[in-house]
Structure 1
Amino acid sequence: MIKYIIIDDEHIAHDIIKGYCDALPNLSFVQHCYDAIEAMECLRNHQVDLIFLDLNMPKLKGFEFLRTLQNPPKVIVTTAYQEYALEGYELNIIDYLLKPFGFDRFVKAINKIEGSTTTVSNVNVSKETNSLFLRSNKKLVQVKTNKILFIEATGNYVNVTTTEQEIKVREKISDVLDLLPHDAFFQVHKSFIVAKKHINEIEGNRILIRDFVIPIGKTYKLNLNKLLS
């Protein structure tokens, strides 16, 4: 469970962000903070894993506040000011959400936390047991990454085949690959990503996973051999 706070001087921003968070079962609300001073007090008294941080606030600006923290939690910036994006990434923020942002974009930011190896609530979260939230047929589906067998690009969509189901998602295969643990998933063809742990056999230019046959692209074969050696 990811414990979060919202730091923003606008009440409507708190309502939107908390509403989005309430729709995701892996987020646990800690406190509303309306300026950086209030946030500092909250961080002294509570375990916090994630901050949703506005930039243009009274008393102390968002990045000025962030620089005062010795060991800051993960940070997702939520702001109406695009010009500060580069500065934010220099401070190792997780993502930079430009207001107004929709739920789909919000979920992508949360998935970047789920897809990284990090310490959350003092428990080491293994990439292999993390989850992704995928939007399919106007609903969000939570998928455990260790249950994904392979992913196939089909036009403007990808089909995510797991041990239990197949999920069709409107995404680029490259964007999905960025969210997956890089030591557990390999792109083996321009249209296929496979999970290393579920490979049964590699025979010639094809991979066997259960009853599925996955082609290996010529440009990917050498890299695959290096990764598996």
Structure 2
Amino acid sequence: MIRCLVVDDEPLALDIIADYIEKVPELSLSATTTNAIEGLGFVQQGNIDLVFLDVQMPELTGIQFLKIINGKCDVILTTAYPQYALEGYELNVTDYLLKPIAFDRFYKSVQKVIGQKNQAKNKHTFADQPQSNKVTDFIFVKTEHKIQRIDYDDIYYIEGLKDYISIFTSNERVITLQNMKRMEETLPEERFIRVHKSYIVALEKIESIERGRISLRDKIIPIGDTFKDAFYKRIGEKNS
């Protein structure tokens, strides 16, 4: 089953592609979103095989999206503007669908993806496995002026505030408009754990735990009552 994500700032366009996906047995709809930054989060989790991606979107264009994910999964561009076709193909998109998209053209495009994945499966080599299975050790977040890469190894802890989060790394504080739940889902659970409604910490950066508080670097972080049992169970498993 090919897990699909649809990213388009037009809700009607999302509904049309989602409906088409439901009609193809080999496809499974994982998520739809009108927010390109949220779409990046889905891809970074490694659970998406194919993205149907609009080109002209606010904050982040489809071309910028392609450059950031860098081949992590297959992409079919969906747009009303044919002038982006060449740049899309230069970035190795599987196909380019012009709106309004008819189902027969959609189905033909999907067959390319299915054929490519079947060929890769038959070769039985690591190099030819679908790129969506590759593990990344970093995330991209949108700051006020740019989209920034942050390596997992550099993260000490993450603090959630009302409308944004702060990521504290070995050498800087990065502020991004994102909620804690989405960040918690994006980060690899074997390396990070939520210990409070406002804090996620890197397990390997914990220096000590005393009286319900975590020390790491120059920060003391409280362990929330809601998260206490899961945290101490996790620590116990790591020490067993």
- 1:197 corresponds, among 199, 204, 213, to 204
Aligned-pair distance for 1:197? 1.1
1:179/1:28 CA distance change after superposition, 3 Å: closer
Q: Answer yes or no: is the 8 Å Cα contact 1:7–1:53 preserved in 2.
A: no
Q: Answer yes or no: is the 8 Å Cα contact 1:150–1:195 preserved in 2.
A: yes
1:18 corresponds to: 63
Note the alpha carbon deviations across 1:15-40, whole angstroms, 9 max, x for none: x5335424x38459999899xxxxxx
Aligned-pair distance for 1:154? 1.4
Q: Answer yes or no: is the 8 Å Cα contact 2:159–2:165 preserved in 1.
A: yes
- 2:221 corresponds, among 210, 214, 219, to 214
- 1:227 corresponds, among 234, 237, 240, to 234
Aligned-partner Cα distance in 1 for 2:223–2:142: 28
Aligned-partner Cα distance in 2 for 1:152–1:25: 25
1:162/1:64 CA distance change after superposition, 3 Å: same
Structure with the higher helix share, 1 or 2: 2
RMSD: 4.4
1:72/1:162 CA distance change after superposition, 3 Å: same
2:151 corresponds to: 144
Q: Answer yes or no: is the 8 Å Cα contact 1:6–1:53 preserved in 2.
A: no
Q: Counterpart of 2:221 in 1: which secondary structure?
A: strand
Aligned-pair distance for 1:145? 1.6
1:162 corresponds to: 169
| TM-score, length-scaled by structure 2 | 0.52
Matched, 1:133 2:143: no
Query: Structure 1: which 5+ residue stretches go unaligned?
Result: 35-47, 74-118
Q: Counterpart of 1:69 in 2: which secondary structure?
A: helix
Q: Answer yes or no: is the 8 Å Cα contact 2:72–2:131 preserved in 1.
A: no
2:87 corresponds to: none
1:228/1:71 CA distance change after superposition, 3 Å: farther
Aligned-partner Cα distance in 1 for 2:177–2:77: 35
Q: Answer yes or no: is the 8 Å Cα contact 1:206–1:213 preserved in 2.
A: yes
The size of the alignment, in residue pairs, is: 161
| TM-score, length-scaled by structure 1 | 0.55
Query: Structure 2: which 5+ residue stretches go unaligned?
Result: 1-48, 79-91, 119-128
* Runs of 4 or more consecutive aligned structure 1 residues displaced over 6 Å after TM superposition: 4-8, 10-13, 28-34
Aligned-partner Cα distance in 1 for 2:55–2:229: 54
Aligned-partner Cα distance in 2 for 1:195–1:133: 17
Aligned-partner Cα distance in 2 for 1:11–1:150: 34
Aligned-partner Cα distance in 2 for 1:134–1:51: 26
2:114 corresponds to: 69
Q: How does 1:53-64 map to 2 (within 5 A)?
A: 56-57=101-102, 59-62=104-107
Aligned-partner Cα distance in 1 for 2:75–2:179: 35
1:181 corresponds to: 188
Aligned-pair distance for 1:162? 0.8
